[in-house]
Amino acid sequence: MKQICVKDFDHFLNHKGLLPDGVEEFWSKNLVGLKATQFCDTFNKTSLNLKSFHLTGQSWKNMRSVLSPSFTSSKMKSMFTLMCHNAELFSQHFMKKTGNVTEVEFKDAFTRYTNDVIASTAFGLQGHLISHCKKKIGLFCLSTISNNHHRQEWKNMLSTLSPSFTSSKMRYMFELMNNNSKMFVQHFLQKNERKVEVAFKDAFTRFTNDVIASTDFGVHVDSLKDRNNEFYLMGKEASDFTSFTRKVKFFFYLLIPKIASFLRIDFFGKEVTSFFMNLVTETIKIREERKINRMDMLGLLIEARKGQQKDKTPVETTEASFAVVEEHLEMNVKQDLTDADIASQVFIFFFGGFDIVSRALSFMAHELAANVDVQERLIEEIDANRPAEGSPSYETIANMTYMDMVVAETLRKWPLNIAVDRVVTKPYTIEPELPGEEPVHLEKDDNIMISIWSIHHDPQYYENPEKFDPERFSSENRKNIQPYTYIPFGVGPRNCIGSRFAILEMKALFFHLLSHFKIEPVAKTQIPLQINKKSIGLSSVDDFTLGLERRDQYWPKMERTILSNCM
């Protein structure tokens, strides 16, 4: 793995694309899919050109270096406020309910939470989808599952995007996350019930939607309250791979890619891509006309286009997070970014943040409910670090030791992606390392799959791997983890650029949620968890239905303060 992903990375620079070239124009300029050999001479600026999700090579590196500073600790600190705001609104939504027990579909609730986070941190929109079910602001963005990038364009795009994820950018995003987290918690607090039953996958998806809306687009949405806002609905539409039509298209692209490319059948639909493209272009126009400077993802990309990004060194290590992966490429490569280029990058982050992070939140909620001792210890740490007034600081959240251990173990047992691939860019031989092994000869365009799930669940690396044990990641035990056996965000230069963002989002939400509630199993909760085999990504059959029991006796004064501040 070290040879393929790090040492000889230039031989394995690209991912294999989900869609063939020419099928979706918006696909190939995105960081996830950029190719060097085909950089789109013409670019449709009126609709999402899905070639933007296809960056490879130097273009990928350049865009990566532009985005990376947006995810540094300092930028995350800024976004954290929005995340926390969404988290508090999420909790207070359920606190408003009356009665002894209320059934809540957590999968839906978490989906709405992530929607709100995305809306506020990415777009600057306010939504509160868990409470507002009929606002149209979310039908757009989960349409990105390609993974192809050719060398030079990929490198260029990487260097462009990397500054967006430095610590300084994360500090700004932290403020946005903080706000979303507060909003999320408020939704449940307003339910006025001792215990509510929640489908966490939906609730968390709504939360992550709102986080991305605020951190990427500067848009505030509340997906728990406004349950049918366009941000959320577009995300659901784009990420739905269960429909018959979508399945037929997918296998059509997979089995006969040349014909699919020739026919140019759109995979995600013009409504989704047009909505997203129009949102980005109109927002850029308004900001430039009114000279609005906002440190969300969209604003940082506008900065990059002007060559005004200020972060010189995105590698900052103020966080204690074990799972964060750092950048290794040169930064501040100026790129000639079109509005469509910018839209493509923001779109892929919406896709990643909308569903994938909400699933990670759902698995963590389930493990806390199933492991009472772990939850109690985490609550103790939260109570010890909670300020008397106001929201926690970025440094407080980032450096909570046990919180990081729980997040790290969640991502080990339930990795965001079960596998990662690499495409061979030039002939390569993997030499034998053990007696009796044979060399493996690889040719150009061969595809290699690395099973993250298998590595994380191998008893050779993790004793009793099916047990949820945060102690694996204590300061004393971390040194026992072998290199390249813990890779929840991938490994090497082609790792997930948003790892710092995702981890901060998880920590912000659970800090606020567990400040007000305990998470408990209910009658519908499945222990052990049953995986939904029909789902493309890891998910539960029961949509992570769990109970939230209020902790009023611990924080009565604090609860009243938050309710008054958020209403």
Q: Domain containing 516: what range?
A: 2-37+45-240+270-432+440-566
Alpha-carbon gap, residue 514 to 367, rounded angstroms: 14
Q: Is residue 380 part of a domain?
A: yes
- The pLDDT value recorded for residue 53 is 45
- The pLDDT value recorded for residue 451 is 92
Residue 543 has φ and ψ, to the nearest 5°, of 60, 25
501, 353 contact by CB (below 8 A): yes
Q: Is residue 158 part of a domain?
A: yes
Q: Is residue 256 part of a domain?
A: no
Q: Is residue 261 part of a domain?
A: no
- Is 141 annotated as a binding-site member? no
Alpha-carbon gap, residue 264 to 444, rounded angstroms: 27
Outline where DSSP puts E strands in 387-544. 419-423, 428-430, 440-442, 447-451, 517-520
Alpha-carbon gap, residue 549 to 539, rounded angstroms: 24
**Residues comprising the chain, all counted:** 567
Two tokens, residue 357: 């992070």
157, 61 contact by CB (below 8 A): yes
Q: Is residue 524 part of a domain?
A: yes
Domain total in the chain: 1
Q: Is residue 185 part of a domain?
A: yes
Q: What is the CATH number for 276?
A: 1.10.630.10
Alpha-carbon gap, residue 291 to 278, rounded angstroms: 19
- The pLDDT value recorded for residue 420 is 87
The predicted model scores a pTM of 0.75
3 state SS of 125: strand
Q: Is residue 245 part of a domain?
A: no
- The pLDDT value recorded for residue 181 is 93
**Each residue's pLDDT expressed in tens, for the chain with a length of 567 residues:** 677 777 676 776 666 665 555 555 555 555 555 543 333 333 333 344 444 445 666 666 676 666 666 666 666 666 777 777 777 777 777 777 666 666 677 767 777 777 777 777 666 666 666 665 544 433 333 223 333 445 566 667 777 777 667 777 788 788 889 999 999 999 998 887 888 999 998 999 999 999 988 887 778 889 999 999 988 888 788 777 777 777 777 777 777 777 777 777 777 778 888 888 888 898 889 888 888 888 777 887 888 787 766 555 444 445 557 777 665 545 555 567 888 888 888 877 777 778 889 999 999 999 999 999 999 999 999 999 999 888 899 999 988 999 999 999 999 999 988 888 888 989 999 888 888 889 999 999 898 889 999 999 999 999 999 999 999 999 999 999 999 999 999 888 777 778 888 999 999 999 999 999 999 999 999 998 988 877 767 888 888 999 999 986 544 444 444 444 544
Q: Is residue 447 part of a domain?
A: yes
Alpha-carbon gap, residue 158 to 198, rounded angstroms: 39
121, 28 contact by CB (below 8 A): no
Q: Are strands 193-199 and 99-102 parallel, antiparallel or unpaired?
A: parallel
- The pLDDT value recorded for residue 50 is 44
183, 96 contact by CB (below 8 A): no
Two tokens, residue 218: 């500067």
- The pLDDT value recorded for residue 382 is 97
